[in-house]
Structure 1
Amino acid sequence: MPRAETTFVCQECGWQSARWQGQCAQCQAWNSLVEEPLAVPSGQGKQTKKTISSLTLPEVELMSRSFSRFSSGFDELDRVLGGSGKDAGIVRGAVLLVSGEPGIGKSTLLTQIALRTIMSTKSSQKQAVVAYLCGEENPEQILLRIKRLQASDDLPSWHFFTTQSIDQALLALTKLRPELVIVDSVQSFRSEELTGAAGSVGQVRAVTNAVTQWAKESTTPVFLVGHVTKEGGIAGPKVLEHIVDVVLEISGERTSDLRLVRAYKNRFGATDEVGVFRMAEEGFVAVANPTDVLVQQGTSNTPGSVLAGILEGSRPLLIELQALVVRSNLALPRRVGRGVGLSRIQVLAAVLEKHCKLPVSQYDVFLSVAGGIVVHEPAIDLGFAVAIASSLANKPIARSFAFIGEVGLLGEIRSVPYADSRARSAQRLGVERIFSHQSHTCVAAVLQELGIR
């Protein structure tokens, strides 16, 4: 029996090589080439004749009047997807890729969206039809999740498809004409047009292309569940993210019930919005006021706890920053952070040592962003600097104070974008005094006024 032809495919970018090599010549990734059967046409798929359609702008405008968005059932998610007011949410015909760490809640969120889509039309004569393509679970397992999320399982318009052939699934979907389709997951389906196992670079690309073409022709929105690599990126070729319309990521700490939904790509809206949810027994619960979750009440008399104003997307939030400073017995004191990078801790410690004359080099410094979120923007620098000084001096900071500003290497306080919006949001939540670039020029002046220098 002749040996099947194989090729080595980079799992990061899809580049192919006739033989194995340690580094991909295109994306420079190491140890990313995997041997796969040569992706050639199998001859089993049916070729369809493509027709060219030509439309004028007035014709498109006339068609777009009935081509509107519909709500996902979550105001928080609708904000992320784009639109405004009642015309916000999912665009018809869009392909949305949902990624996140295993167990973060991807299937749970999509199941809730499907349930709310059906329930929103339950009182009407025609109930919305939802199709769930099961690639990783069988219908019985999904039914257990439905019963956990909703007391009633009387859902005659919910259809399961258990095939792993995307060609057969799309043929059945064309006859069904659903209002919403969920593909769980894109790595578990394969196209009959290509050889090779499901999840390979070629198969992921072919499946995504087929689903996208069907979604555009049928104007049916499709959610794709995507796996992630150990580095946190979406598994499969990078072209996968280019094909789809929206790339959503669900993030959150394992030890926290807080979940953040961000759009890293959005053809129909902004990419600077974030949806805040809480994972409860009944699934995802939207958090209308995230400050209630991020700021712990009752820590006002504790040294090392301060409030800071950040910007998540276009939404200003008030969060709690915590610092613990203890004398070190090590030659090289420890710098530990949760929700903040190590390099930022080292810079702030050096600034406090040099410009504020605080003996931080003799102490271990532990910093944390309360609530389990990760903050990358530099607007929290001033808050962390004050928290470190507060813990070192063992003097609490009033809960009516908030700190907004970037700290430079010279100890100066630099301005941050949308500072006025952050300040107004903090004042609405009861903050009486804002320490920022507008009120002080350097960190030393802030600490001197607070009496902790």
Structure 2
Amino acid sequence: MAKKSILYVCQECGHEAHKWMGKCPGCGAWNTMVEETPKSQVKARVPKGASKKKSAGSNGSRGGWGANRTTNADIKRLTEIELTEEARLRTGIVEFDRVMGGGIMQGSFSLIAGDPGIGKSTLMTEMGRYLPNHTILYVTGEESKRQVKLRAQRLGVDSENLLLLSETNVEEISSAVEDVEPDILIVDSIQTIYRPDLSSAPGSVSQVRESTASLLKITKELEFSTFLVGHVTKKGTIAGPRVLEHMVDTVLYFEGDRHHAYRILRSVKNRFGAANEIGVFEMRESGLREVQNPSEIFLSERGYGVSGSTVVCSMEGTRPVLVEIQSLVTPSSYGTPQRTATGFEYKRLQMILAVLEKRSGLAFSDYDVFINVAGGVKLDEPAVDLGVAVAAASSFKDVPTDTGSVLIGEVGLGGEIRTVSQVEPRLKEAAKLGFERAVIPQNNLDRITVDLDIDVTGAKTLRDVVDMVL
């Protein structure tokens, strides 16, 4: 009998070693190495009906590759594969379908993650309301069937085609899928699912990776759509191995503050649509309700005649969204001034303040600077730099900005306003909401090919913009 080898796997990064170590060589984390069964010693699950297939050796072919060997019948030319109109399943939720690229692709494998209590399970449960004629198998590993039933009643979901399964064993889940043959499979959550032939605990790197691989295989074979609900860490990343995001077709993040009404569903990765697309929802007692005009909602509580407030236009996927940037600059009470950014990258804020101080003569070294993106939106596009810089300058001088202007542009280290992409959709959205003027980079003026009902002003430097709108 062959001696079993011992393998230790880091539960943070997945680094493998043949001996235990207190500190992981891969990520530097302490006490994360756990003994696990090597993958080569794990017995693979045999799907139903596999014994009925002829092995490769029994039909006269060379070798004995087993029943799952690929034959010429499994190989098709690209031109022979037919696509029908039913390749995408439209849920009727406009915001959700937008994020998915026009609907749920048949045979897709998606991962949705977010903070606890943000509304992931609520969104998945509401699938039963919008797809009453499609079979949905909801596998719950964290709640009982009664708990899911109570949530469904609160949301007004009462569909006979919504099937519930309280199970965490991936082999039992696969058997249930083969029996039910659902159109959509929902697993809540992937961190609770385990394979019994692995010695590690549920939620470990090996369990999450291998359980996902098993579900991925059966999803592609039977061509139904699967949604995995995932947890996030304190840093905001998806818990488990990084390879999890590479295995799935779509990665969705559910963003927002549990204490605020609005939620943002963002596609970080999408093989069937535009990445970084967003859908906006409002959380109510009866569930999630889509917001089809988020720009109007985000600007509805905007204050006028107050310093430190500007409006920017950010491209989220294919959608232009107008958002208010708020800034507060006050004298510092401590030796080291504070720099706080909510919804905006902290390091980029430091760069913008340095450019303002060097190129515009505004000294922030003795002042605390606070930046907030209203509505709970997270902006990471360089085109919003100009609005952040002008908001900080407005609060520093305590002079209100022009409330009828939208600011679009990337700020360079030399104080120049750099060119941005997709300027025409941004200007159309600003004009639709009644803004009178848009300040854009000078080089973008030559790229406008349509007539717009808004005054467009070009700017070359940050100093010019500060003098223009303050």
Q: Give the TM-score taking structure 2 as reference length.
A: 0.85
Does 2:372 align with 1:368? yes
Q: Evaluate the alpha carbon distance shift between residue 386 and residue 6 of structure 1 in structure 2; reply closer, same or farther with a 3 A threshold.
A: same
Q: Evaluate the alpha carbon distance shift between residue 320 and residue 7 of structure 1 in structure 2; reply closer, same or farther with a 3 A threshold.
A: same
For 1:68 and 1:50, how far apart are their aligned partners in 2? 27
The question of whether the paired residues in 1 share the 8 Å contact of 2:296 and 2:433 is answered with: no
Look up the match of 1:446. Answer: 465
Look up the match of 1:78. Answer: 97
Match of residue 351, structure 1, among 326, 331, 355: 355
For 2:261 and 2:195, how far apart are their aligned partners in 1? 37
Q: Structure 2 counterpart of 1:55, which letter?
A: K
CA deviations 1:391-422 (Å, max 9, x no partner) are 23332223211111122222222222222322
Look up the match of 1:146. Answer: 152
Does 2:206 align with 1:176? no
Does 2:37 align with 1:38? yes
Match of residue 430, structure 2, among 423, 426, 433: 426
For 1:341 and 1:44, how far apart are their aligned partners in 2? 45
Does 2:278 align with 1:268? no
Shift of 1:166: 1.6
Does 2:76 align with 1:55? yes
The question of whether the paired residues in 2 share the 8 Å contact of 1:12 and 1:32 is answered with: no
Is the deviation greater in 11-20 or in 38-47?
Answer: 38-47
Look up the match of 2:105. Answer: 91
Shift of 1:362: 3.6
Shift of 1:107: 0.9
Look up the match of 2:15. Answer: 15
The question of whether the paired residues in 2 share the 8 Å contact of 1:187 and 1:198 is answered with: yes
For 1:100 and 1:228, how far apart are their aligned partners in 2? 6
Q: Evaluate the alpha carbon distance shift between residue 67 and residue 435 of structure 1 in structure 2; reply closer, same or farther with a 3 A threshold.
A: closer
SS of 1:360's equivalent?
Answer: coil
For 1:356 and 1:135, how far apart are their aligned partners in 2? 57
CA deviations 1:317-350 (Å, max 9, x no partner) are 1111111222334443332222223333333333
Q: Cα RMSD between the aligned structures?
A: 2.4
State the aligned residue count.
Answer: 430
Is the deviation greater in 30-39 or in 335-344?
Answer: 30-39
Q: Evaluate the alpha carbon distance shift between residue 168 and residue 299 of structure 1 in structure 2; reply closer, same or farther with a 3 A threshold.
A: same
Match of residue 252, structure 2, among 248, 255, 258: 248
Shift of 1:137: 0.6
Does 2:410 align with 1:406? yes
Q: Evaluate the alpha carbon distance shift between residue 447 and residue 244 of structure 1 in structure 2; reply closer, same or farther with a 3 A threshold.
A: closer
Shift of 1:22: 4.2
Is the deviation greater in 134-143 or in 40-49?
Answer: 40-49
For 2:201 and 2:346, how far apart are their aligned partners in 1? 41
Does 2:117 align with 1:103? yes
For 2:35 and 2:261, how far apart are their aligned partners in 1? 40
Look up the match of 1:323. Answer: 327
Q: Evaluate the alpha carbon distance shift between residue 300 and residue 242 of structure 1 in structure 2; reply closer, same or farther with a 3 A threshold.
A: same
Shift of 1:58: 4.4
Look up the match of 1:124. Answer: none
For 1:383 and 1:376, how far apart are their aligned partners in 2? 13
For 1:92 and 1:134, how far apart are their aligned partners in 2? 22
The question of whether the paired residues in 2 share the 8 Å contact of 1:20 and 1:33 is answered with: no
SS of 2:276's equivalent?
Answer: coil
For structure 2, the residue ranges without an aligned partner over 5 or more in a row are: 51-66, 443-457
The question of whether the paired residues in 2 share the 8 Å contact of 1:45 and 1:192 is answered with: no
Look up the match of 2:220. Answer: 216
Structure with more contact order per residue of length (Cα contacts < 8 Å, sep ≥ 6): 1
Shift of 1:109: 0.9
CA deviations 1:246-293 (Å, max 9, x no partner) are 221112233332222222222222213122222222222211111122
Q: Structure 2 counterpart of 1:75, which letter?
A: V
For 2:104 and 2:412, how far apart are their aligned partners in 1? 42
For 2:374 and 2:154, how far apart are their aligned partners in 1? 30
For structure 1, the residue ranges without an aligned partner over 5 or more in a row are: 83-87, 122-127
For 2:228 and 2:122, how far apart are their aligned partners in 1? 13
The question of whether the paired residues in 1 share the 8 Å contact of 2:10 and 2:34 is answered with: no
SS of 2:466's equivalent?
Answer: helix
Q: Give the TM-score taking structure 1 as reference length.
A: 0.87
Q: Structure 2 counterpart of 1:129, which letter?
A: T
For 1:178 and 1:397, how far apart are their aligned partners in 2? 55
Shift of 1:303: 1.6
